[in-house]
Amino acid sequence: MSMHPDIEQVLFSEDEIAAIAKRMGAQITEDYRDKNPLIVATLRGAVVFFADLARAIECPLTMDFMRVYSYGAGTKSSGTVTIDTDLRTDIEGRHVIIVEDILDSGLTLSKLLDVLRERKPASLEIAAFLVKDIEGYEPPVHPRYVGGHIPDAFVVGYGLDYAERYRNLPYLGVLKPEVYS
Ligand code: IMP
């Protein structure tokens, strides 16, 4: 597939992403074999990764979805999180894995975990496709499963958007700054 003209650089190709999902799926299979985990996709960014990760997990599981807001149309987290669509599953006593697209400030996830912990799951872990490494910044949450680390740049594709665009790119790339500045 040819590169989209708004993309400056590809950080993870389709093949690399497939290998990441396989590796993380194998780890989760190993850790949750008899636990019937509930895997939760945070809409909308994590959906593409969620679909690949779920198919790489080879033990029984159930799925649910949440939609939380933090960004609006810009490129920085607002720091407040609104739950727009909540789980349909009672998570008390369940082994829950939150599947995230990317951990940037981690504020969205940190707030979400606070809410979910009050519902008394048996365990609560994060599987993040990406962690953004920001110099001098220690994020408030630490995913148990991480696909890859990226530098502090705004990335799109493989579920991630800028103003709702580019989610369908099959690779992960850095957006040209002139597109959003
Ligand atoms: P945080 O609260 O700063 O960790 O932001 C979390 C959410 O912001 C992620 O789940 C993404 O949906 C979005 N986000 C953060 N960084 C990027 C990026 O580089 N590109 C696209 N979306 C991003």
- pLDDT digits 0-9 by tens, 19-48: 999 999 999 999 999 999 999 999 999 999
> Quick one: pLDDT at residue 81?
74
pLDDT more than 90, % of the chain: 83
**Which among 7, 8, 71 is the best mutation to test ligand 1's pocket, defined by most ligand atoms within 8 Å of the CB?**
71
- Is 104 catalytic? The answer is yes
Residues with CB under 6 A from ligand 1: 45, 70-71, 77, 100-108, 154-156, 160
Domain boundaries, the chain: 15-150
Catalytic hit among 104, 114, 133, 161: 104
pLDDT digits (tens, 9 = 90+) for 139-150: 999 999 999 999
> Quick one: pLDDT at residue 126?
98
Q: Rg of the Cα trace of the chain?
A: 16
Report whether CATH 3.40.50.2020 matches the domain 15-150: yes
Q: Using CA positions, which residue lies closest to atom 11 of ligand 1? A: 102
Q: What is the C-alpha separation between 100 and 75, in angstroms, rounded?
A: 17
Q: Which atom of ligand 1 lies nearest, measured to the CA of 77?
A: 3
